[in-house]
Amino acid sequence: DGGITQSPKYLFRKEGQNVTLSCEQNLNHDAMYWYRQDPGQGLRLIYYSQIVNDFQKGDIAEGYSVSREKKESFPLTVTSAQKNPTAFYLCASSIRQGVYEQYFGPGTRLTVT
C-alpha cells in the first residue's frame, strides 16, 4: 500500500520546546515538501527537497529546519524560534521537483501552548 505517512496526527507542545514532525513515503519519489496551513487559508511552502542530502528554503522557512538523509524520509523540526507554530502541517512528495502533481500525507495538527 503505497503512500505518504505523517505522524503523529495530533501533537501538543509547550512553548519553547522544539518538536519534530515525521514524514515518510514509499512512492520512490525524489522530491518532498513541507507546507503549513492556517485556518481557512491555503498552503505555504516551508522547505522542499529535490533529492537526498539536498533541501531548499520555501517562503516561510524561518523557525523551521529539515533534513533529508534518506529518500523515504523528510522530517521537519519546528524550533522555539518559530513565533506562531500552531498550525496544520502537510508533507507532500512528487516524482521529481518540477511540473508534476504532488501527493499529500494526512497532515499533523500541532498545538503549542
Partner 1 sequence: SQQGEEDPQALSIQEGENATMNCSYKTSINNLQWYRQNSGRGLVHLILIRSNEREKHSGRLRVTLDTSKKSSSLLITASRAADTASYFCATRGSRLTFGEGTQLTVNP
Residues in contact with partner 1 by CB under 8 A are 4, 6, 35, 40-45, 48, 58, 88, 90, 92, 99, 101-107, 109
* Position 42, amino acid: G
Decide whether 11 or 45 has the Cβ nearer to partner 1: 45
**CB neighbour class for 77 (10 Å; exposed up to 12, middle 13-18, buried from 19):** middle
Cα–Cα dist 57/78, whole Å: 14
Residues in Cβ contact with 41 at an 8 Å cutoff, skipping those fewer than 6 apart: none
> CB of residue 30 vs partner 1: minimum separation in angstroms?
15
Decide whether 2 or 42 has the Cβ nearer to partner 1: 42
> CB of residue 107 vs partner 1: minimum separation in angstroms?
5
Decide whether 1 or 99 has the Cβ nearer to partner 1: 99
